[in-house]
């Protein structure tokens, strides 16, 4: 008999259908035989006295043995279950004592640190001693299956929301991309999806490129090249970029890649305007604001090709180079205005090719009318579809103030300052200046150690007094008149 539903829609179990003639079919079973039948029919069987105390039990489920059900003997049945299950035990005992039809109720036995053990019980009165026999079915395997089902449902939910988040990011990137991006079926070559930029760049009709074949609207030569590229992508998964021209005007660089989705092969096609002016037409507003900042910056910015030929400059460079317009600089070599012809630009471009960037390169920049400024140059190599270009940021540091004024007895030029002059000043001049620096330092130290006694200082330095006077005069140190006790040289 199948289970039905109660008035509130709750699933209820039918009443147990009794044997029609138990005395004739079963007869008088002995207690031992009845016990074997009960123990075999149930996972756990309890014999409970009228006071609700467990007097005997049989356990046929191995899962219940670790739970210590043997310790239930001599204890009230209600004390062997959890607190929320005790009303159900009391109801089972009450129905069995009243002779009501047996019902199945699920209770939980505490199981130490682990999860509680669920057992489905039904209780019936047996014998003239008013003993109650409770038959229990272990539901731990059912509970484990239910828990696995819940875990699987939660995992499916997590995967679902993860895929939704990925799809949202993909859609956002797809819609905001400034380049034309098409999703094309690899077999039919029909456009399945297209982003908003594709309609503006391809000049599509009101319906857009979706549902139309690709390539469409290109000249014959470009169509053949695109078909060959798509065939190569289908065969090898990738192909070289192709330059294609629209029949109505407009030149594009077209690339494609193959990917699979739900056993279908799809092509991701990208179309980038080939001309610089077309590219600037689709520059995002944030990038255009950045270009405006570079154009108005007080530091000079120069863009050159790999040979150092100027492609573009900002007004700050025109001021430094004393030029009237950008046309005077475009096409000229940047070396024309750098301090050391044949050296500076070669060093900069060599480092850019090897490392990709240069920071704080010190040199000078010459104007068209002879004005020279000390500058620092930071440069970067920008790779592109063809040959890379170089960007130079040039800052005028000639008016930069020193950290603090020098004291009267400070050195005329620090060693760090001398090393900064390497490449600007000839080596012999640097050596001469360094020698003068050390010589003056030694003379000042000797005069200080001897209490400004020039005779002792000359002896300490291994010089004649006449040579010492010549050097004092040269460096402007002390008075030239002889001290007391000294002879006129």
Q: 467: helix, coil or strand?
A: helix
Q: The tokens 């100027």 sit on which residue? A: 310
**Nearby residues of 347 by Cβ (< 8 Å), 6 or more positions away:** 361
pLDDT at 403: 45
Phi/psi at 451 (nearest 5 deg)? Answer: 65, 35
How large is the greatest C-alpha to C-alpha distance in the chain, in angstroms?
Answer: 156
| CA-only gyration radius of the chain, Å | 49
The reported pLDDT for the residue numbered 8 is: 47
| pTM of the complete model | 0.37
Q: Which helix (H) or strand (E) holds 366?
A: strand 357-366
- Residue range 294-396 in CATH 3.30.465.10: no
Annotated domain spans of the chain: 11-16+29-138, 177-280, 294-396, 416-475
Q: What is the pLDDT of residue 406?
A: 45
The predicted pLDDT at position 23 comes to 58
Mean pLDDT, consecutive 10-residue stretches, the chain (489 aa), reads 48 55 59 68 85 85 60 88 90 87 87 78 80 87 85 90 85 79 88 82 64 84 88 81 80 85 84 60 60 83 88 89 84 85 80 84 84 88 72 84 46 59 72 83 82 79 87 75 48
Contact 456, 468 (CB under 8 A): no
| Domain made up of 177-280: CATH architecture | 2-Layer Sandwich (3.30)
Is it true that 294-396 and 416-475 share their CATH fold? no
Nearest to 47 by CA among 79, 116, 105, 93: 93
Cα–Cα dist 271/198, whole Å: 8
Q: At what angle do helices 427-449 and 454-461 cross, to 10 degrees?
A: 130
pLDDT value of position 404: 47
Q: How far apart are CA 230 and CA 236, in angstroms?
A: 10
CATH superfamily of 11-16+29-138: PAS domain (3.30.450.20)
* Structure token pair of residue 308: 């150092």
* Cβ contacts of 388 within 8 Å, gap of 6 or more: 306, 381, 382
Q: Does domain 416-475 have CATH number 1.10.10?
A: yes
């Amino acid at each position: 008999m199948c289970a039905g539903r109660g008035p509130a829609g709750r699933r209820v179990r039918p009443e147990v259908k009794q044997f029609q003639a138990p005395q004739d079919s079963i007869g008088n079973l002995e207690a031992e035989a009845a016990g074997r039948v009960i123990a075999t029919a149930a996972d756990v069987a309890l014999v409970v006295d009228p006071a609700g105390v467990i007097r005997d039990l049989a356990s046929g489920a191995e899962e219940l043995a670790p739970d210590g059900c043997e310790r239930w003997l001599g204890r009230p049945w209600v004390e062997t279950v959890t607190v929320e299950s005790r009303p159900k035990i009391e109801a089972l005992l009450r129905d069995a004592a009243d002779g009501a039809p047996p019902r199945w109720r699920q209770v939980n036995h505490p199981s130490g640190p682990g999860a509680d053990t669920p057992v489905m019980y039904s209780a019936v009165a047996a014998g003239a001693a008013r003993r109650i026999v409770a038959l229990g079915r272990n539901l731990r395997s059912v509970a484990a299956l239910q828990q696995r089902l819940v875990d699987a449902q939660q995992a499916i939910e997590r995967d679902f929301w993860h895929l939704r988040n990925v799809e949202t990011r993909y859609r956002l990137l797809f819609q905001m991309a400034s380049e034309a991006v098409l999703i094309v079926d690899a077999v039919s070559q029909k456009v399945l999806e297209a982003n908003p930029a594709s309609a503006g760049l391809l000049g599509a009709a009101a319906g857009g490129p979706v549902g139309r074949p690709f390539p469409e609207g290109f000249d014959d030569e470009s169509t053949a090249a695109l078909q060959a590229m798509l065939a190569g992508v289908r065969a090898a998964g990738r192909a070289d970029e192709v330059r294609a021209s629209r029949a109505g005007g407009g030149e594009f660089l077209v690339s494609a890649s193959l990917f699979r989705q739900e056993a279908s092969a799809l092509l991701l096609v990208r179309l980038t305007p080939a001309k610089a002016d077309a590219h600037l037409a689709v520059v995002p507003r944030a990038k255009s604001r950045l270009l405006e900042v570079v154009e108005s910056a007080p530091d000079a910015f120069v863009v050159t090709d790999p040979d150092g030929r100027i492609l573009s400059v900002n007004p700050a460079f025109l001021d430094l180079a004393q030029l009237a317009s950008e046309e005077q600089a475009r096409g000229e070599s940047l070396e024309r205005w750098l301090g050391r012809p044949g050296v500076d630009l070669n060093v900069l471009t060599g480092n850019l090719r090897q490392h990709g960037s240069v920071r704080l390169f010190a040199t000078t920049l010459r104007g068209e009318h002879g004005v020279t400024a000390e500058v620092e140059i930071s440069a970067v190599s920008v790779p592109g579809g063809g040959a890379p270009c170089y960007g130079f940021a040039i800052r005028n540091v000639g008016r930069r103030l020193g950290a603090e004024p020098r004291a009267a007895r400070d050195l005329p030029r620090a060693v760090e300052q001398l090393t900064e002059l390497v490449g600007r000043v000839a080596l012999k001049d640097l050596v001469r200046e360094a020698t003068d620096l050390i010589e003056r330092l030694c003379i000042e130290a000797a005069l200080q150690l001897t209490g400004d006694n020039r005779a002792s200082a000359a002896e300490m330095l291994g010089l004649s007094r006449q040579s010492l006077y010549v050097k004092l005069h040269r460096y402007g140190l002390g008075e030239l008149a002889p001290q007391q006790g000294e002879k006129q040289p």
